[in-house]
Amino acid sequence: MTDMLVKLYQLPPLTPVMQQQTEHGITIRRAIPPEKHHILDWIRQHFYDTWVSECDAAMSRMPVSCWVAVEGQKLVGFSCYDTTAKGFFGPMGVSEITRGRGTGAALLLACLHDMYAQGYGYGIIGGVGPIDFYNKICGATVIPDSTPSVYSGMLESSE
């Protein structure tokens, strides 16, 4: 686990990845507060309790700093920023059956463009994860000596 740095002022354009998702029948959009319970349940089912807590923080901000991928009426992915620390991107996840269709790239770029629009110049991708994916999609680079970063001393379940 390491953090990565992204230049938000040099992001790839959002339109092509959004168009690709539309062609797959997937909508990428900002989440809205009435969906919070549904999104948190879905994350608990597919991923980790720590991600539920982080997404809860994103869902409680205004504007909400969580983006979702929706296919039909079904949630198939999410991404968040400003959860554990300001300027931090993550967590994000796509359901296993949806992976490989560009949805992760679209969710990542939607959040990063949103961060730039909110006034950030650089983004930090916290505690990755798939380094090659982040480098490929947004040119993120590893921040040396960034483990465990802002997560130091975090309480964890003892299951």
Ligand X SMILES: CC(C)(COP(=O)(O)OP(=O)(O)OC[C@H]1O[C@@H](n2cnc3c(N)ncnc32)[C@H](O)[C@@H]1OP(=O)(O)O)[C@@H](O)C(=O)NCCC(=O)NCCS
Where does this chain bind ligand X (CB under 6 A)?
90-94, 99-105, 128-130, 132-133, 136
Close Cβ partners of 151 (under 8 Å, ≥ 6 residues apart): 1, 84, 126, 127
Q: Is the peptide bond before 144 cis (omega within 30 degrees of 0)?
A: no
Residue number with CB closer to ligand X (62 or 96): 96
Distance CA 70, CA 159 (A): 32
To the nearest whole angstrom, how small is the minimum distance from the Cβ of residue 60 to ligand X?
21
SS3 78: strand
Residue number with CB closer to ligand X (38 or 99): 99
To the nearest whole angstrom, how small is the minimum distance from the Cβ of residue 149 to ligand X?
13
To the nearest whole angstrom, how small is the minimum distance from the Cβ of residue 105 to ligand X?
3
SS3 114: helix
Distance CA 69, CA 29 (A): 7
Residue number with CB closer to ligand X (34 or 51): 51
Residue number with CB closer to ligand X (33 or 48): 48
To the nearest whole angstrom, how small is the minimum distance from the Cβ of residue 41 to ligand X?
17
Token reading at 70:
């929706």
